[in-house]
Chain A
């Protein structure tokens, strides 16, 4: 299993003050329109302008605790077969996330051939889940994550690999390691090397790669920072939870392009787009909400001013939702809702000590059709533990 330095933002989200206007406006209509983005309105937060690593999970709105990660195409196929029993019944709670071709690729091939690198980074995700609340149907998601271009790939970055080698070499010499070093001392050496690499700037680069589009301001090894990723996912529903009755239930696509501005500057620009179509959810017993379409265009600019991280971001959305209500066997009403608007925020984050950040955010949100027009300010302390 991958090990790295992880920072978990724990529960220390302490609100110090909140001043906002316009909260009294009803958001119900908006929430229906963008059900899958409900946190945007409910929590006054910008949508995450990154491409989901596991788009099938995102499309279904699940965050599974137990994810199967088969490492080969054969193991992936076996995992898929496990998701369906011999009668064609879909198992619920299946979550598979894999890059099945990665481990069959050598580093040399990865570095020398775009096609092999593209295929190695191709990530598949599969998920099944029961509908929410009284929705008894089973939903399935099948997703694909692509790295179309990554100028930030540590495997391609000789600066990163040379620095890794230099750290290893210096400890190798200091510890006087040789082919006959006994296993106990070799294990201690291995731990020391791991720690040194983890504490180095090199690791920041790897960590950034893991954390979506990264933060080039931290790395001195940056050479080219253009990263283009995309993802797509298809959703199906089965009212009887069998594979034979699976029906199309919409799809979604995401794409982000990240640009490092200046070779040694911490500035980064991220452009993001996403679309969702034809998503059908049984929100209540007698009603169905169909998100006919949802579009989002977003942009984020990040920089560092002294030791303060600053980001300015904005997004515009446009959606059409149809709510169908079955009043009786023969009577059904349909209401079509349109929503278009935007969200803008400026966030400043200052590191008070190695584990504590002060977060200040200023935001504005406007949706014309829904008469939503808010402006607010909030502060928070964030506590992070290094594991």
Chain B
């Protein structure tokens, strides 16, 4: 399968990851980074939808992205890095028909840069749903 690329412009700001998680279903998202020319994913962030269901995480937030990751003022540093995620939905619910839905996107300034966005939605057919995916940054 072809690797999805996210093209960043070196003239624009630090990219921001956007999340929209619909429905009252508990969802956990784990974000990982993979440095250029390495094989290891390093988990950098874990969050859930308890406090907010639509939120953004900026790469220049040192609390979210600690040292050693593409954090900085220069977008050029992102070239060749990969951002990945693993999403978990808890299907133990109290209603007969329970859907799950998440959209993960990315923007640079006001421009959406991840095409297509990562979208998963459906109804539970089991007590848990897990999805993963990743993109590779390319700076032009």
Spell out A's residues near B (CB within 8 Å): 1-4, 67, 69, 71, 97, 99, 102-103, 105-111, 120, 154-155, 158, 161, 164-165, 168-169, 172, 177-181, 186, 189-191, 193-195, 197-198, 202-203, 206, 209-210
Assess the A190–B130 pair: CB atoms within 8 A.
yes
Assess the A4–B51 pair: CB atoms within 8 A.
no
Q: Kindly provide the distance from the CB of B27 to the nearest chain A CB, expressed in whole angstroms.
A: 7
Assess the A4–B127 pair: CB atoms within 8 A.
yes
Q: Which of B26, B90, B123 has the largest number of chain A CB atoms within 10 A? A: B90
Docked pose: A102 CA to B123 CA in angstroms:
14
Assess the A161–B130 pair: CB atoms within 8 A.
no
Closest Cβ neighbor of B133 among chain A residues: A179
> Contacts of A4 on B, CB cut-off 8 Å?
92, 127
Closest Cβ neighbor of A5 among chain B residues: B127
Can you offer 13 A-B residue contacts whose CB atoms are under 8 A? Answer: A2-B96, A97-B96, A99-B95, A103-B97, A103-B99, A105-B24, A107-B50, A164-B26, A179-B85, A180-B84, A193-B88, A194-B126, A202-B92
> Contacts of A69 on B, CB cut-off 8 Å?
96-97
Q: Which of B50, B52, B82, B131 has the largest number of chain A CB atoms within 10 A? A: B50
B115 within 8 A of A: no
* Prevailing SS type, chain A contact patch: helix
Interface string of B55-94 (1 = CB under 8 A from A): 0000000000000000000000000001011101011111
Docked pose: A36 CA to B84 CA in angstroms:
58
Given contacts A179-B41, A180-B84, contact A103 B132 (CB under 8 A): no
Considering only CB atoms and an 8 Å cut-off, how many residues of chain B contact the other chain?
A: 47
> Contacts of B41 on A, CB cut-off 8 Å?
178-180
Assess the B25–A107 pair: CB atoms within 8 A.
yes
Assess the B53–A186 pair: CB atoms within 8 A.
no
Assess the A108–B130 pair: CB atoms within 8 A.
no
Q: Kindly provide the distance from the CB of A328 to the nearest chain B CB, expressed in whole angstroms.
A: 50
B22 within 8 A of A: yes
Docked pose: A4 CA to B91 CA in angstroms:
8
> Contacts of A191 on B, CB cut-off 8 Å?
126
> Contacts of A193 on B, CB cut-off 8 Å?
88, 127-128, 130
B30 within 8 A of A: yes
Q: Kindly provide the distance from the CB of B26 to the nearest chain A CB, expressed in whole angstroms.
A: 6
Docked pose: A280 CA to B132 CA in angstroms:
58
Interface string of B101-140 (1 = CB under 8 A from A): 0000000000000000000000111111111111000000
Docked pose: A120 CA to B94 CA in angstroms:
12
Given contacts A69-B97, A180-B41, A193-B130, contact A3 B84 (CB under 8 A): no
> Contacts of B52 on A, CB cut-off 8 Å?
108
> Contacts of B9 on A, CB cut-off 8 Å?
none
> Contacts of A197 on B, CB cut-off 8 Å?
90, 92, 127-128
Q: Kindly provide the distance from the CB of B35 to the nearest chain A CB, expressed in whole angstroms.
A: 14
Assess the A107–B125 pair: CB atoms within 8 A.
no
Assess the B96–A1 pair: CB atoms within 8 A.
yes
> Contacts of A177 on B, CB cut-off 8 Å?
86, 130, 132
Assess the B23–A179 pair: CB atoms within 8 A.
no
> Contacts of A198 on B, CB cut-off 8 Å?
92, 127
Assess the A206–B93 pair: CB atoms within 8 A.
yes
Docked pose: A111 CA to B51 CA in angstroms:
8
Given contacts A107-B21, A107-B24, contact A1 B125 (CB under 8 A): yes
Docked pose: A365 CA to B51 CA in angstroms:
52
> Which of A67, A108, A111, A179 is B134 in contact with, Cβ under 8 Å?
A179
Q: Which of B24, B28, B34 has the largest number of chain A CB atoms within 10 A? A: B24
> Contacts of B25 on A, CB cut-off 8 Å?
107
B32 within 8 A of A: yes
Assess the A71–B91 pair: CB atoms within 8 A.
no
> Which of B21, B23, B132 is A181 in contact with, Cβ under 8 Å?
B132
What 6 A-B pairs are tightest by C-beta distance, nearest first?
A179-B84, A106-B53, A194-B127, A179-B134, A194-B128, A178-B41
Docked pose: A3 CA to B91 CA in angstroms:
7
> Contacts of A71 on B, CB cut-off 8 Å?
97, 99
Docked pose: A158 CA to B48 CA in angstroms:
12
> Contacts of B126 on A, CB cut-off 8 Å?
3, 190-191, 194
Docked pose: A165 CA to B26 CA in angstroms:
10
> Which of B23, B85, B129 is A190 in contact with, Cβ under 8 Å?
B129
Given contacts A180-B132, A191-B126, contact A108 B95 (CB under 8 A): no
Docked pose: A169 CA to B130 CA in angstroms:
12
